[in-house]
Amino acid sequence: MKKLILLSVIIAGFFSFDCERTIEIKGIVKDASSGYPIAGARVLHEAIDTVVVTDSSGRFELPPAPARPAEILFNAPNHEPLELEFKPKGVKSVFELEVEMDPRPLEVIY
């Protein structure tokens, strides 16, 4: 009987490690000064080491990731890079972000 209980506890332990809650992060990236969507912006989720690129409407969707705090980096041509510390709260499984990136001043070379 003791062996059966021990085996049950061990098996339950394996399943609990495999059942980590995951979340989806999606949203839109916009220019902070004009409000227009930014197409071609790179979005990096550091926890899962995955990069996606925004579509022509500025929208992105990251693959499912563990529900843990993580850094999300946004990079777009002619815009200042943006680093966002994302901390999921509650029991939501899908998070919708609206990110505004500041334009980078153009340098004039004479």
Structural domain boundaries enclosing 94: 22-101
Per DSSP, the three-state class of 40 is coil
Residue 9 in domain: no
| Dihedral angle of Cα 62, 72, 48, 36, to the nearest 10 degrees | 20
pLDDT band at 6 (very low <50, low <70, confident <90, very high): low
How many C-beta neighbours within 10 Å does residue 60 have?
21
Which tens digits make up the pLDDT trace of 31-86? 999 999 999 999 999 999 999 999 999 999 999 999 999 999 999 999 999 999 99
Residue 106 in domain: no
CATH of residue 84: 2.60.40.1120
What is the rounded CA–CA span in Å between residue 83 and residue 39? Answer: 18
- Residues written for the chain: 110
What is the pTM (predicted TM-score) of this model?
A: 0.76
- The angle subtended at Cα 25 by Cα 19 and Cα 29, nearest 5°, is 170
Count the domains in the chain: 1
